[in-house]
Amino acid sequence: MTIREMIIKYQNEISNENDLTPDRASEILVKLSALLGNIADEITRTEVAYNRVLLEKLNSETKANRAKILAETTSEYEEKLNARNTKEVAIELIRSLKYFLKAKEDEYRYSSNL
């Protein structure tokens, strides 16, 4: 299972918040936080691969803008975008889980004070 597939799996689980318990939310939060390192490695790998393609296109084209457009039509560019988007999704899921857990904590405190 790829990192992106794992993120999508967690995203689907989180989106069904009726079944999401605070314990499970905490587990997912820890796993997503751990995956950020792997995502950073993937971003680095895809950036380097894309930069190699871009350099190749710059060397073969007379105009830089044309070379850039050609480089952006490659699979390396698509992988680069996917890696960056995966990071953004992971960060947003982490934020959402933190908010969810904070709301549950506040709810628990409020109900125990009654």
pLDDT along the chain (114 residues), means of 10: 93 85 95 96 97 97 96 97 97 96 88 73
Q: What is the pLDDT of residue 111?
A: 82
Q: What is the pLDDT of residue 17?
A: 66
Q: Measure the CA–CA gap between 53 and 57, rounded to whole angstroms.
A: 6
* 45 domain-assigned: yes
* 48 domain-assigned: yes
Domain residues for the domain of 66 are 29-112
* 76 domain-assigned: yes
- Residue appearing with tokens 């953004």: 88
Q: Tokens standing for 77? A: 């560019």
What's the pTM value of the predicted model, to 2 decimals? 0.85
* 8 domain-assigned: no
State the maximum Cα–Cα separation within the chain, in Å, rounded to a whole number: 74
* 12 domain-assigned: no
Q: What is the pLDDT of residue 114?
A: 66
* 69 domain-assigned: yes
* 2 domain-assigned: no
